[in-house]
Amino acid sequence: MPSDEPTAPRRTTEPLWRDALGQCLRSLRLERGEILIETARRAGVSPQYLSEMERGVKEPSSEMIAAVAGALDVTLGELTLEVATSLRAAPIGTAPAGPTCQVAYALAA
């Protein structure tokens, strides 16, 4: 016999911030034609740590994110905007879309 009780909507998981961040970082690094070691050296982090950031394994501090963003010649604001944009565009239950992570450089004049 069917119940008259309302059922809660089934919630699917959204992509995680750290996954979207990692995809953006990897995309930016590859657009520059760099290997992990080069970017990690400039950021002052180990290649292993940067790899874990790119794979979404680590929850990096804002200082670490800023260091890697700087090594990739983007601001923390630009990177944050791109990660947020990729999360908004990603269907719920999936990883953020695509290997490209174009950083928006033109803001208000």
Q: Assign residue 83 the CATH number of its domain.
A: 1.10.260.40
Distances (CA, A) of 60 to 12, 46, 51, 54, 64: 25, 13, 12, 10, 6
Reported residue count of the chain is: 109
What percentage of the chain carries pLDDT values higher than 70?
72
What local confidence, expressed as pLDDT, does residue 100 receive? 47
What local confidence, expressed as pLDDT, does residue 1 receive? 52
Average pLDDT over residues 45-62: 96
Task: Please check whether residue 4 lies inside any domain of the structure.
Answer: no
* Cβ atoms of 75 and 69 closer than 8 Å: yes
Token pair of 32 as six digits = 């520059």
Task: Please check whether residue 6 lies inside any domain of the structure.
Answer: no
Report CA torsion sign: 56, 90, 95, 74. Answer: negative
Task: Please check whether residue 2 lies inside any domain of the structure.
Answer: no
Ranking 17-21, 92-96, 97-101 by mean pLDDT, the lowest is 97-101
Residue, of 93 and 21, whose pLDDT is higher: 21
Task: Please check whether residue 33 lies inside any domain of the structure.
Answer: yes
Token pair of 103 as six digits = 């950083």
How many domains is the chain partitioned into structurally? 1
Task: Please check whether residue 47 lies inside any domain of the structure.
Answer: yes
Task: Please check whether residue 12 lies inside any domain of the structure.
Answer: no
Q: What is the pTM of this model?
A: 0.73
Residue 39 belongs to domain spanning: 17-89
Task: Please check whether residue 39 lies inside any domain of the structure.
Answer: yes
* Cβ atoms of 96 and 19 closer than 8 Å: yes
Euclidean distance between CA atoms 38 and 29, whole angstroms: 9
Task: Please check whether residue 97 lies inside any domain of the structure.
Answer: no
Backbone angles phi, psi at 27, to 5 degrees: -60, -45
